[in-house]
Amino acid sequence: MDAMDLRILRIVQSCPDIAVADIAEKAGLSHTPCWRRLKNLEADGVIRGRVAVLDPQAFGLSVNVYASIRLNRHDEETLNSFEAAVRLRPEIVECFLMGGDSDYLLRVVVRSIDDYEQLQRKFLLHLPGVASLNSSFTLKCIKLTTELPI
């Protein structure tokens, strides 16, 4: 990856629906070389996809919860089963395998505290290998971005 690729990536990050011709103009390239670079970045997995960032409030999804989970077993089967189950729940928008006190950190987006309580009682506490769960609720979003510092 060279400086031109980074320039293209910065442009795409800030405006994912921008046309190739506009990317080329902003980056100082002609259309075809810019298109080739974009295709290579996609093929290499550097660009994993392009998204629209939606406002959760517009859908009544006003509660963000960070759930720290500790497992009582760490065998491959338990980890794989846990991760597969988490992928199936749309309320879980992020899941990280952690080092430190927690094994996993989940970000959950729901309409209400009651909705989270139901998810916790009926799903989260029944995930494979769960020993403990600690939930933290956000009060206000100060910064949320998908743009990487490249």
Could you list the pLDDT tens digit for every one of the 150 residues in the chain?
A: 999 999 999 999 999 999 999 999 999 999 999 999 999 999 999 999 998 889 999 999 999 999 999 999 999 999 999 999 999 999 999 999 999 999 999 999 999 999 999 999 999 999 999 999 999 999 999 999 989 999
> Phi first, then psi: what are they for 130, rounded to 5°?
-65, 125
Structure tokens at 86: 């988490």
This prediction's pTM? 0.88
H-only helix segments in 15-139: 20-27, 31-43, 76-87, 113-122
